[in-house]
Each structure stands twice: as C-alpha cells, then as structure tokens.
Amino acid sequence: METVPNHPRPAEGRTESVLSSDDFTVIAKLAETKDYKEWKAQHQKKREHQSEAQLESELIETLKTQGYDYLPGLTDEAALIHNLREQLERLNTRPEEGAYGPNSGFHFTDEEFDRLLKNHIARSNDGILEKAKLIQEERFIDFRLEDGTLRNIMLIDAAYPARNHMQVINQYRVPAPNGKVLNRYDVTILVNGLPLVHIELKKRNVSIREAFQQIERYQNEGFQQDKHRLFEYAQIFVISNGFETKYYSNTVRHKHVEDQQKAGRKTDSGGSAGKSFEFTSYWSDEQNNRINDLILFARTFLTRHTLANILTRYCIFTVGQDLLVMRPYQIAATEKIIKRVEIANNDPKLLGTKEAGGYIWHTTGSGKTLTSFKTARRLAETGLVDKVLFVVDRKDLDYQTMLEYNNFQADSVSSTGSTRELSNRLADRGTNIVVTTIHKLSNLITAEPKHPVYGQRVAIIFDECHRSQFGRMNTAIKKHFKKYSMFGFTGTPIFEKNSAGGPGTTTVEVFGDCLHTYTVVDAINDKNVLKFHLEYTNTSPTFAELEETSYAEEIAAERAETPDAKELAKFAKSKEVLESPERIEAVATYILDNYDRKTNQSAATSYDIKKTRTINGVTEHYVQRVRGFNSILATSSIDAACTYYDALNTLQEERIADGTLRPEQKLKVAIIYSQGNGGQLFDTFGEEENFTFATEDTGSRMDGFLEDYNTMFGTNFSTDGDSFDNYYKDVSRRMKVRELDLLIVVNMFLTGFDSKTVNTLWVDKNLKMHGLVQAYSRTNRILNSLKPSGNIVCFRDLEQATKDAFTLFGDTENSNGQSALDIAFTRPYKEAYAAYDKAVSELREEFPIDEGGSITVDTTEDKARYIELMNQVLKLQQELRVHDEFIRDGGNELISDYDMQGYTGVYNDIYEEARELRREQEEAKDSAESETNEGEEKPTAVDLFDRVSFLTELVRQQEVGVLYILELVKAARAARHGKAAGESGTSETAQDSVEHFRDRVRLAIRNDADLRESGDIIEDYFDTYLNESEDHDVQEHFHHYVTDRRTREEDTIVKDEELDSAETQRVVNRALKENRRTIPGKISRLVKGKISLFGGKLGGAKTEDAATKAKRVKQKLEKHIVRFMPFLGGE
C-alpha cells in the first residue's frame, strides 16, 4: 500500500493561534476565560476615573508583564538610531558567532551602519509605501561589509516570529525647525528596533476619531521631521480611548492623505478624512465577540507572538500598494483550515474524507477572497500540500478571482483558459495555486482520468459552489483524487431548509463541519458592511395585486410535484402581465424619476475614484472625482431585461426631446445576459460557464445592445465568444469605476460581483433564500460616509422572502436580543421621521434663528451642543432622503433650504474655530516639557469639541453650489431692472429685493466650505452683473469674468515674484484641470534665473534665502489655485 507523505510543518515555528494571549489560552469565547469576570469588574471600576496619562501608564505596565522591554529614556532620534543598531545586530547574530553582547555576536562598524542606514533603511527618497514593501515583502537587505563579505541583513523574522524582539517606548519627541517640540507620540512598539506599531490614546469620552485625526497630523508633519524618518515604518496604528479600540494599516491613512493632498482639501480635525475611518477594524475573539477595552486588546492583539504573527503572516501588501491587515475572523478561518490540513497529514486515513476538510461561513462582503488567498498562500508556502486548486462556478468569477488574487500579489496564481491549460498548470511543479472553474475541472476529470495530480496532496477550495452540477462534481472528485482536503467558502450555506432536496445537497453533507462563522449580522455589527434600506414600491394600481402574489405563485409552482394545469396557466398569465411593456414602462419611469435621489448623484459632494488608463502602451494610475453611485436592475427573464433596456432609453430620449433632460444627463445604461438566463425559477445564478445565447433572437438583440455600448464608449465588442467575454470584463470594470450608471441583468452580476460604487439594486424578479441575500449584498460594500446603506428597491412583494432569508442566514448569537432583520435593515420610515422631527424641534428651540437671520451660539458648551444637534439632523436627513414617503410628505419642509444654509454656515464657523483651537493646543502641548497630570484632567474647550465629530461630508451635501448662486445673481438683476423700469413697485422696494438676494448669496458662500476663499470673487461679480446694461447668459458671462480675473491675479503674482509667466500658467492650468490644489515638484523651476542656496538670485542684490522665497511663492500660488478651483477646476 502506498504511504502518504507526512508533509511536516516547515521551520516556521510551532503552530500558534493568533487568537490567544499570554494571560488567556486560545480565546474561543472571551467571557468564558479564567478570571475574566472578576478582572472586568475591577478594571471597569478603575476606568471610570482614569486620565489619558494613567491609561498610557496602565498600557505600558500590561505590555511589560507580557515580556516587552520598556525604554523610558528613548525619546529622540539619536536614541532610536542607537537602539536600532543594537537590535539589528542582535537579530542577525548567527549561532556560530556566540551570544550577542559587547564582545561577542555580530556587530556593525560605524561606517557599515551609517551606510546601511543611508542607502537601505532610511533612503532619502523612500516614503511610507517603500518602507512597507521592505517590511512586508523583502525583509532582507543584501549588504556588503567593509571586508567585502556579502551578508543578508534581516529586518524582521517571518520564519520564526518569536525571534523578533519587542520593545515599548512613549512620549517620543519630534523637534520642529525652531527647536521646539513639533509632536509628541503616545506609545510606540518597536520590533527589532523599528517603530512598526503606533498607539494613539485619548481620554475617556473623547471619540477615537480624534486619535485617528491625530495620527493623520503625524503622517502629514511629524513622521517626516526626523532626519531618518523611521516612524514611516509604522505598519499598524491602534487608536483607543480605553473603552473603544480599533486598528488599521498605515496605508488606510496614507492613501487617503495622499489623495486629499492632491486635491488640496483640508484633512485635519474631523474633515473629510473621516471617511477612511470606516476602514478601521475591531479585534474580537473566535466567536466574534468584540474586544473593545484597551487592556484586553493589549492582552490579546498586542501579545508578542500574536503581534509578530499578524505583522509577518497576516498582512498583505498589494500590487496597488495597499497594506491590508487581516481581520480576526479572517485569521481564525485561515488557521482553522491550516489546522485541518495538518491533522489530515498526520492521520492519512482522513485524507479524501469530509473530516479532512470543512467549510467557512463568512458573509458576502466580509473579505472571503482575501481570506481564501491567504489560506491558499500559506498552504502553498508551508509545503503542507503539493497544490492548491481554487474552484469557482462561473467563467466570470474565474476572471475576477484571478484579478483579485494577482492584485494581492503579482503573478501569485494561474488562471486557466481551457481544460488543456488546466491540465498543464496542474502538472507544472512550479505552479502552486491554480484558479479554475467547476466546468473545466469536470472536463479534466472526464478527459484525463489518470492525471498525476490525482495522486498528489491537494487542497481544493470551492467558492460559492452550490449549483445543481456540484453533486456530480463532488462524486467525481472522490472517485479520482486520492489525497485531498476539500474546503468551501460561502456567505450563504445550504441548509436543509433552503436545499433543493436529495442527498448531498447541503453544505455540511458536501464539505463537512463548519470551521468558522461570520454572518451578515456580525459584519453589520462590526461595521464591515452596510445595513440595507429596503422599500417595496408599487408603480401602478393596475399591477399591485400581481406584484403582491407573484412570489407565492412561483413558490407553489416550484414545489408542486405534479403541477396543476390551471395553476401553471395562472402563473404563465401573471408572468406575461408582469413582463408586459406597459408595466415595465411604469417601473422604468419610476427608476428615472428617482435615480438621482436613490444613487445620491444629485448631491453636492463628490469623491475620488482610482482609475487606470493606457496611453501609447504605458499604463498609468490616476484619480478622478465622481458624484454619487451606480446601480443594478435585476429582471425576471431575458425578454424582460430587453424590454427594460428599450424602455429606459426611449423614455430618456423623449425627455431630451421635450427639454426636461439635458443630453449630458442621460444615464449610461448597459445590459448583459447569456445562456441559462431565460426562464429558470428564482435565483440559481449559475451554470453560466459559456457566454453563448439560448436562441438566435437573444443573440441578435444583444448585437444591437452592443452597438449602443460601442458607440457610448468607443469600443468594438460583439457576441462572438472571446469578444463577449471581454465585454463582460469591460462592463465589470466600468461598473467598479462608476462609468456606467445602470446595469440590467437577469442573473449575472448578482453573485460574486463586488463594487463599492454600487449602492442600489432595483428588483423586478422573485428572489429567495441564499439567492436573495447574495443579490441584496451587491449594494452594501463600504465606500465612504456618503453611502450609509445599500438601497433595495423591490417592485414585487418580497417581504416574506426577505424575512425568511435573513432569519436563516443572520445568526444572532452576538446580537443582544435583536432580530436579524432589526440589525440588517434600516429602521422603518415612521420611526426615523419621528426622530428627525424631534431633532429639528430641539435645534430650533435651543438655537432659534432671530428676525435678522442670526443664530446665537456663545459658549463652548453651547457650540459643542450645537454640533451634536446638527449632527443628529444631518444624519437623519441622509437616512430619510432615500424614502419615497419623505419626498411625498414634504419632510424637508421641517427646515427650509434657506434656514439650513444658516445653520450649516454656523456649523462651518464652529468647525474652523475647533480646528484652530486644536492646532494651538497641540502646539502648546508639544512645545512644553512633559508635566503629566495623574489626576482628573479639567476639560478644555478642545476637550468639549473632541467629544463630538464634525460630519463635514454630510454638511457638504447641504451646499448649493455655484450654479445656484448664479441663479440668485440673475434674480437680483431681474429685480433691479424690472422694478426700476417701473413695471411695479418703487426703486426702494427693488433695492430691498436686491439686498435680499445679496444676503442670500453671502449666506450660500458662508455655507459652502469650498467657496469661503472665493467669496470676494462672487460678491464682486454680483455688482458687476447687476450693473450690466445687456441681459447676458449668467453662466457664460461669469465664466468669462472669472477667467479674466484669474489671469489678472496670476499676472500680479508673476510680476511681484519675478516668475516665468508661461511656466506658471502651465503649472496652474494643470492643477486646475486635475482638481489638485497643491503644486507638485520644485518651485524653483518657476523663478526666472537661478536661485542661490545661500542668498537671492545669483548676481542680484537681493539676499533673500531661496527656501523662504520658494515657500512664499508656493503659498501664494496654492491660495490662488484654491480661489479659482470652484469655478475653473476640471477644465
């Protein structure tokens, strides 16, 4: 009998669950660990009266008990560099060199270490991303010693994580150029001397968002101030106020700051930077119980072996230069699978059985692809298996998975275009991970029953493979593969209740035990995905009854063993009516009427989308500002999909013809379907392996749709196999970057397709169970604060179907008694509206608008209360806007647009005041030597502001924009000239009207943060246009005015600073076109003649320092750009 290789675990160190700590064993369930309740009671009592300094002290003491070395004297760069040298020498000492010490072990010479620092560790041109790559991917430096020996210098030990030496420091000081202290960091963890983890603390009752913003300021200022910029090595940030603790990677902040700096937007103190706060993570135990308390977090996440494992094994530095730190449920799932494989390797009789595998139930949108990638990589890297085979159920998911895997790590997997290619990949010893489809794998087993891979140790990972053909596939795998472990990843397992019936149809029957669970309830509780906002919409009384009964009729037709002829005829008639052109036109009209509101495209606020383009064969990445989101329309059949496409386009053309829709406002609509989409009941979503068409008619109709698509985007797709495959890929890409507004589908794209820009699903088909949850989940990916929920607009009554599905898949063990529906969906309209009514009443009562239009907010306490009340109103308005009832009830009349401008203007004033106070306080704090108050700290004005968050992204949605203001200007001129001409009234009343419009313009400027620097331009134009003798088009006239004014102001700067006019104009033009409010590169290129490093212009009489002039010129030009960006940006 053939023996099975043991595949022992390689020299990575022993298997350790990351969910363990020095104080607790494996954290299976935190509340059940030894002494937890007693510790919690004592700790919470102490926490009630704890200052920020005391919290910091307790954290350090906890880390010391866990084996960290505390270095209280390490507070400046010289000490940091000295310690780094020692730690790298210790780490790189080989056994034959003896124990590390003053006279033994490996030691750098001064010249060697200076060269290592200058040329490798602290290269002048390296930033956060380069340093992350060095830690996450390279980890070694090829370095030549003075004697000519080439030596690999290790920075972090990934093979033996326990060898990495952990130290903790606090109150590290970063000097400012004037000799004062620029920043003082709370707590930092050094790993082999490098500051890889930074912890920022806030006192109790202060939002951890403020710690998040504080770290942003460090990355903007402090991290760059030290000569060697070693704090740019920070891989993970931890933020906490003692009661709430979160962590995130360096690139969560860096990428956001980078994008904001390109656009020149304010990012400190609660500004739009807060949108990336959504990508911070909680730590938890294996049962998904959140670990919020800082000290419990320290005793789990920050234990030395746990932190070392996370840094070396559970971070991924992607091709797009994002550092992803895995979440606890992802790590737990990965290790559960690895453990199963190890057990099977050591017990050969388990191989090829369900006991060697299992399944992972992680909800859609929780990052299953990342989890499966890391699982596959670790299995391949550790040598536990010979081959990892990742199997998806459709060709489109094959492509998407390959893209995502290769985004995690370039060329990390091989996809297979054909069965022959699959055979070759599996036979290639150099290919460890192969992505393929269930169809190709089935063909391979049929075509090559003796392929050598069948005898190898293989891990087969299936993604959402619950299709009708899977039973046959499962049987074939068992018959041919001899040494396999089979694992399934699913967001919606098949249980007996939602199975198709028959043996081998449930997930447990196919894969075995559930190894780890993270349900939609867990994900929403952790804010890793959004809630759903669900509405049932009837567009016409004529069809209301059928829309209510169609789900029940389809259920009956599906379940009937011997369908009744009358019932089938009734079902067919219902289907005919529901798919009739008359009804579809009514639904299409509703979609067009409500599209902007549901997708937020009419909002004033925009956001950045990262795109790629290829010019002359060179691919480049760029950022584009977009407004709102996009959507998917799910239809019941190919015929219905085609009718919808025609109706939406016809209705839009009619609106363009009658002037109610501008041509540039027309929605970009695409449609996609293929074989298998025609008439199956419900939501099988599957067996779309071939992009072919069931009938000649469906294919010819798609030809017409492709002509429209090709015209719209300048492409050349057809229904031929490869070309249609590429059409699918192009549609997928354009949906993700919001170049398409609406995609019409039957089943495709309703499972497996992930796009953060999709926020609305229009549903005109019957869905149930796993298919319903999968379809709804296309909308609930987190993007930014402008996307509070995923919108589900149902044109059929799916209320019972929704309840059934979320009751089944929304495990509520950690839900504190709430139902899955309560957690997964936004609250009912009446409940939200009542809260809105109350919030508006409180705002008006506490801060009324007087007869002169003023709002009095005097004390700091009043200002903090004002922000708190306004936040409630802003959040509730955002929640209510998607409700049809809110529009019908005139809900926004509770507070008029005019009054809201007044309220948001005061909000912006307080925000600016808080920013300035915070800046002054930080300067005062950092400039003073450390005197720590161990007692209760008296609240300051900044402390009061810290207890509230400034929701500037939501405030921006209240902005009315330049076009609205120009309409006010136009109305003011009409009032003056109309009244003065004696049409009615007197010149006095005409002037009163003009002043009324002037006040409204000023109020609108004050309300708009982007226009505050440009207010004088608009006010000057108000008077200019008011006195025009001819009636000009206000938009065109203003564009000429502002362009001319920009030229005049620019010429003044050029003359005053002696700049090159053409080069300055080019730089400013580029900044305006790219919406970039900062000037990249060196300012010296704009200055005529050469600049001396030690004085003014060479040969000139001026003695001004070059750096001083460059700084002044940069400030002038950037202020100039900011002034004209609202009017000329993007041109």
Q: Average pLDDT of each block of 10 consecutive residues along the chain (1131 residues)?
A: 37 42 47 68 66 90 95 94 97 93 93 96 89 92 94 94 95 71 83 96 82 71 71 94 92 57 42 58 91 92 92 86 90 93 94 94 88 89 90 61 61 66 88 84 90 94 67 80 93 81 76 93 90 90 81 71 72 88 96 93 71 68 79 95 97 94 93 63 40 63 95 93 87 94 94 90 94 93 86 94 89 69 89 92 93 85 91 89 79 75 85 77 55 48 68 66 77 69 53 76 75 84 80 83 91 90 88 75 69 46 65 87 83 62
Instruction: Please count the other Cβ atoms lying within 10 Å of the Cβ belonging to residue 454.
Output: 18
pLDDT digits (tens, 9 = 90+) for 1069-1110: 888 877 777 776 667 778 776 555 444 444 444 556 676 788
Q: Give a yes or no: residue 572 inside a domain.
A: no
Output the pLDDT for position 125: 85
Residue 423 located in a structural domain: yes
Whether 215 and 198 have beta carbons less than 8 Å apart is answered as yes
Whether residues 205 and 317 fall in one domain: yes
Domain assignment present for 118: no
**Three-state DSSP class for residue 794:** strand
What CATH number should be reported for the domain holding residue 271?
3.90.1570.50
DSSP characters over 611-644: EEEEETTEEEEEEEEEES-EEEEEESSHHHHHHH
| Domain membership of residue 451 as a residue range | 332-517
pLDDT score, position 681: 38
Tokens 């419990």 identify what position? 296
- Which domain-ending residue is among 824, 839, 862? 824
Task: Based on the fold, state whether residues 485 and 614 are members of the same structural domain.
Answer: no
Residue 751, domain CATH: 3.40.50.300
Q: Are residues 628 and 508 in the same domain?
A: no
Which uninterrupted H or E stretch holds 572? helix 565-578
Residues 426 and 354 in one domain: yes
One domain, residues 784 and 857: no
Q: Are 89 and 112 in contact (CB under 8 A)?
A: no
In a 10 Å sphere around its CB, with 0-12 CB exposed, 13-18 middle and 19+ buried, how is residue 651 labelled?
A: middle
Total domain count for the chain? 5
Within a domain: 901: yes
pLDDT of 342 reads 94
Residues 182/221, Cβ–Cβ less than 8 Å: yes
> Does residue 414 share a domain with residue 352?
yes
Are 1051 and 1127 contained in the same domain? yes
Last residue of a domain, one of 824, 844, 878: 824
pLDDT of residue 685: 41
Domain check: are 776 and 912 in the same one?
no
Q: Dihedral sign, CA of 959, 735, 824, 551?
A: positive
CB atoms within 10 A of CB 556: 15
Report which secondary-structure segment, H or E, holds 744: strand 742-745
How far is residue 194's CA from residue 108's CA, in Å, rounded to a whole number? 17
* CATH number for the domain harbouring residue 916: 1.20.58
Domain co-membership, 785 together with 871: no
User: What distance in Å separates the CA atoms of residue 701 and residue 684, rounded to the nearest whole number?
Assistant: 24
Domain-embedded: residue 90: no
CA distance 784 to 231: 28
The beta strand positions in 44-180, using DSSP E, are: 69-70, 140-144, 150-154, 166-175
pLDDT tens digits, 577-594: 999 999 999 999 999 999
Same domain, 410 and 503: yes
- Chain position carrying tokens 């298996």: 385
Instruction: Locate 336 and state its tokens.
Output: 């559960």
> Are residues 175 and 70 both part of a single domain?
yes
Q: Is residue 854 in some structural domain?
A: yes
Domain assignment present for residue 114? The answer is: no
Domain shared by 841 and 781, yes or no: no
* Residue at which a domain ends, from 325, 355, 382: 325
Instruction: Quote the pTM value.
Output: 0.80
Asked if residue 153 belongs to a domain, the reply is no
Confidence (pLDDT) at 364: 86
